[in-house]
């Protein structure tokens, strides 16, 4: 029975194109793992000519929002290739010049051509090279509107004193400021010289080698995919939280941030205990200005994070646990293509839960999982079937479209089922081996599954038979056997919410004194929507939600104020939309506003003012929601 089931699983995976013949033969070996796949989101041909190292020399000019300079790419011809051109990804770059060298000096001009601009992929830069070329130098500049950069006026920062620049490369925005093989299947080491105004601090996802007179030197000696190259420049200071961890932020929020994340050293130790040593040296956190379009970004050695997670009570540290988890899943073992994105995010979300449990206790982890599951269920009710599949087909689409709760929460549930089926000890040991085995490689879903079949499922086929792998990976929705998480604390909150909504208790009698962020979110989310104005008033009067200093709670409350057309909150709603650029928070607010004519007018007015302050990615995302009348 178990054997039949295994054969069926393999047949099903092969049918879905998830087990290539090379993978079958190479079972358990990683030699083929970074070949034999094609990335539809890159023009490059790393199977012919592959970039191994990137040396940047860039100047950030804040007056005209220009990042310009040179990229020296060290290349290697592959599979006996002799004459193929080097094809790079670019988006809105101005290329001034290209030259090559066979030894890193003595550069000679080479012929290059920039292809037509694809709306999603940008333009291919094709460089014709002599056979013995080893280094290619490109002299270029990025557009002031580069999709992967945000230039901020001092007024958009916490301290309002200095301008700020930061990058956000994932998924395919590295190409908007570096001409590169912008595929997660390509790994490069890099170093950089960054020239910036002397009063500013420059940081990268790399080892900081030193700064002299406005020139900052960086080096990343471990091979990483281009989406992990990162840069930030601004009035930034540092506060240590432990021997190898610390927080960077603007001076006015540094103390608060350092307190909020004072457990960082413990977080790192917790993952190390599970999956082996942290391999990147330091782990620091950079708190960005509020327009940062994401919650966090796992740039190696230096996670980028939104200030909206500074809640004052450490209740949103889960975000740091998540980004830290990527130091294993994502940065060490990387999705080879964006269809395999769930390998990065599903694993990171699973590990995030394990870290939270280890450091803050099981109940905290469970509460976070219950809230995440509600989000997923909502997605599954509203999304196209094709977007509910872990191994998603993104051909012809922007990979940023794949960043839904499906790869995160469904992916984590899949792993949690395996953990519960095989037991923690076995699964922990298995994952540790997985990270060691594929360390510093980019792998596909099929390579991961192949390894799992051989290293885990084959050892206990009776247990493996309980896991509907094909359904998890290649079908929409959730398997009926998906694990369910229950949180006693949230269930108590839910009962209280229902009693209050039914008029059985007054807001003043709610047992909310020690509610954490998660309990507040649960309370607000399970209430009927929209609430009647007197109920909105009662809650606001009792708990001052419109003035909440916790952005996660405020965001949830503001969504409810729009649904209920609760006008007293609108000034706060406006100022929130004017300062916060985190897409997860602002997109639902705009979407809710667009449901009524008056709301839509309000949305258009506010967006017209807020838009210039949003990140280019957020501008485009909100453009799709807030349409002109
Ligand atoms: N890697 C992602 C952020 C990302 C994904 C940026 C795809 C661009 C494209 C990061 O690890 C992440 O998942 N951030 C989450 C927070 C996390 C706690 C779920 C976010 O930004 O909301
Ligand atoms: Zn993530």
* 330 Cα distance to chain centroid: 10
Report pLDDT for 12: 54
**pLDDT tens by residue, 68-94:** 999 999 999 999 999 999 999 999 999
Active site residues: 323, 408
Residue nearest to atom 10 of ligand 1 (CA): 297
Report pLDDT for 619: 97
- Kindly report the CATH class assigned to 49-233: mainly beta
Q: Which atom of ligand 1 is nearest to the CA of 349?
A: 19
Q: pLDDT band at residue 15, thresholds of 50, 70 and 90?
A: very low
On the question of pLDDT at 8 being above 80, the answer is no
**pLDDT tens by residue, 244-279:** 999 999 999 999 999 999 999 999 999 999 999 999
Nearest CA among 98, 96, 83, 88 for reference residue 126: 88
On the question of pLDDT at 29 being above 80, the answer is no
Range list for CATH 1.25.40.320 in the chain: 529-623
3-state secondary structure 131-198: CCCCEEEEEEECCCCCCCEEEECHHHCCCCCCCEEEECCCCCCHHHCCCECCCCCCCEEEEEEEECCC
Distance CA 182, CA 88 (A): 7
Range list for CATH 2.60.40.1730 in the chain: 49-233
Comparing 12-16, 301-305, 437-441, the range with the smallest average pLDDT is 12-16
Q: Which atom of ligand 1 is nearest to the CA of 344?
A: 1
Q: For 379-404, what is the mean pLDDT?
A: 95
What is the torsional sign of CA 329, 332, 335, 341? positive
On the question of pLDDT at 18 being above 60, the answer is no
Report pLDDT for 36: 73
Residue nearest to atom 2 of ligand 1 (CA): 297
**pLDDT tens by residue, 601-616:** 999 999 999 999 999 9
Which ligand is nearest to the Cα of residue 320, counting in written order? 1
Task: Please give the structure tokens belonging to residue 284.
Answer: 């620091």
| CATH code matching the domain that covers 1-20+334-485, chosen among 1.10.390.10, 3.40.50.150, 3.40.50.2000, 3.30.70.270 | 1.10.390.10
- Average pLDDT in the chain: 95
On the question of pLDDT at 41 being above 80, the answer is yes
Ligand 2 midpoint to CA 335 (Å) = 12
297 lines ligand 1 (CB under 6 A): yes
Which ligand is nearest to the Cα of residue 173, counting in written order? 1
On the question of pLDDT at 114 being above 60, the answer is yes
Report pLDDT for 9: 58
Q: For 50-60, what is the mean pLDDT?
A: 98
Which ligand is nearest to the Cα of residue 295, counting in written order? 1
The CATH code that applies to domain 529-623 is 1.25.40.320
Maximum Cα–Cα distance across the chain: 82
Ligand 1 midpoint to CA 296 (Å) = 5
Range list for CATH 3.30.2010.30 in the chain: 236-327
Range list for CATH 1.10.390.10 in the chain: 1-20+334-485
| CATH code matching the domain that covers 236-327, chosen among 3.30.2010.30, 3.30.460.10, 3.40.50.450, 3.40.50.720 | 3.30.2010.30
53 lines ligand 1 (CB under 6 A): no
Long-range contacts of 432-439 (CB under 8 A, 24+ apart): 432/274, 432/275, 432/276, 434/333, 435/275, 435/276, 435/328, 435/329, 435/332, 435/333, 436/276, 437/30, 438/30, 438/33, 438/332, 438/333, 439/279, 439/332, 439/333
Q: pLDDT band at residue 402, thresholds of 50, 70 and 90?
A: confident
Residue nearest to atom 8 of ligand 1 (CA): 170
Ligand 2 midpoint to CA 290 (Å) = 19
**pLDDT tens by residue, 472-498:** 999 999 999 999 999 999 999 999 999
Quote the pTM value. 0.96
**pLDDT tens by residue, 537-568:** 999 999 999 999 999 999 999 999 999 999 99
Distance CA 130, CA 82 (A): 9
Report pLDDT for 10: 61
**DSSP letter, residue 118:** B
Residue nearest to atom 18 of ligand 1 (CA): 319
Name 207's bridge partners: 219
407 lines ligand 1 (CB under 6 A): no
Over its C-alpha atoms, the chain yields an Rg (Å, rounded) of: 25
> 315, exposed or middle or buried, with CB in 10 Å at 0-12, 13-18, 19+?
buried
On the question of pLDDT at 6 being above 60, the answer is no
Q: For 40-58, what is the mean pLDDT?
A: 98
Report pLDDT for 35: 57
């Amino acid at each position: 029975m178990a054997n039949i089931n295994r054969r069926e699983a393999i047949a099903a995976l092969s049918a879905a194109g998830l087990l290539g013949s090379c993978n079958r033969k190479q079972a358990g070996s990683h030699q083929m793992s970074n070949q034999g796949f094609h990335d539809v989101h890159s023009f490059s041909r790393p199977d012919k000519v592959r970039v191994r190292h990137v040396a940047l020399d860039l100047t950030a000019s804040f007056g005209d929002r220009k990042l310009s300079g040179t990229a020296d790419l060290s290349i290697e011809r592959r599979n006996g290739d002799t004459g193929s051109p080097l094809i790079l990804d670019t988006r809105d770059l101005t290329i001034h010049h290209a030259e090559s060298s066979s030894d890193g000096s003595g550069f000679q001009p080479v012929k290059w051509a920039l292809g037509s601009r694809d709306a999603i992929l940008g333009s291919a830069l094709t460089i014709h090279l002599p056979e013995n070329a080893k280094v290619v130098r490109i002299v270029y500049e990025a557009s002031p509107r580069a999709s992967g950069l945000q230039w901020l006026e001092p007024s958009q920062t916490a301290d309002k004193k200095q301008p700020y620049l930061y990058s956000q490369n994932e998924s395919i925005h590295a190409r908007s400021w570096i001409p590169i093989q912008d595929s997660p299947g390509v790994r490069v080491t890099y170093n950089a010289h960054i020239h910036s105004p002397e009063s500013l601090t420059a940081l990268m996802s790399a080892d900081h080698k030193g700064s002299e007179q406005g020139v900052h030197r960086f080096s990343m000696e471990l091979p990483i995919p281009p989406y992990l190259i990162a840069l930030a420049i601004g009035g930034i200071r540092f506060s240590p939280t432990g021997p190898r961890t610390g927080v960077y932020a603007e001076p006015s929020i540094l103390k608060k941030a350092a307190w909020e994340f004072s457990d960082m050293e413990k977080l790192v130790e917790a993952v190390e205990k599970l999956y082996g040593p942290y391999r990147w040296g330091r782990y620091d956190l950079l708190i960005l200005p509020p327009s940062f379009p994401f919650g966090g970004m796992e740039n190696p050695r230096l996670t980028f994070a939104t200030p909206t997670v500074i809640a004052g009570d450490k209740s949103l540290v889960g975000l740091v646990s998540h980004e830290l988890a990527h130091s294993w899943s994502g940065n060490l073992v990387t999705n080879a293509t964006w269809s395999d994105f769930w390998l990065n995010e599903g694993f990171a979300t699973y590990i995030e839960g394990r870290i939270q449990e280890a450091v803050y206790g099981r109940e905290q982890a469970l509460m976070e999982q219950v809230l995440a599951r509600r989000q997923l269920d909502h997605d599954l009710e509203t999304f196209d079937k094709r977007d509910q599949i872990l191994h998603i087909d993104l051909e012809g689409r922007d990979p940023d479209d794949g960043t839904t709760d499906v790869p995160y929460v469904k992916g984590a549930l899949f792993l949690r089922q395996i953990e519960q089926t095989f037991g923690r000890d076995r699964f922990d040991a298995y994952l540790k081996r997985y990270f060691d085995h594929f360390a510093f490689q980019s792998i596909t879903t099929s390579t991961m599954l192949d390894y799992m079949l051989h290293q885990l499922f084959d050892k206990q086929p009776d247990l493996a038979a309980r896991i509907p792998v094909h359904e998890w990976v290649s079908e929409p929705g959730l398997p009926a056997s998906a694990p369910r998480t229950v949180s006693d604390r949230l269930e108590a909150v839910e009962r209280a919410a229902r009693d209050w909504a039914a008029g059985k208790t007054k807001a003043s009698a709610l047992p909310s004194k020690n509610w954490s962020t998660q309990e507040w979110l649960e309370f607000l989310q399970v209430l009927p929507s929209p609430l009647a104005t007197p109920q909105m008033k009662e809650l606001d009067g009792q708990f001052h939600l419109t003035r909440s200093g916790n952005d996660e709670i405020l965001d949830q409350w503001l969504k409810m104020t729009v649904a209920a057309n609760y006008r007293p909150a609108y000034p706060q709603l406006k100022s929130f939309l004017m300062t916060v650029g985190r897409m997860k928070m602002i997109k639902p607010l705009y979407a809710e506003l667009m449901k009524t004519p008056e709301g839509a007018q309000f949305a258009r007015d506010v967006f017209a003012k807020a838009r210039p302050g949003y990140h280019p990615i957020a501008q485009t995302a909100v453009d799709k929601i807030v349409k002109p009348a």
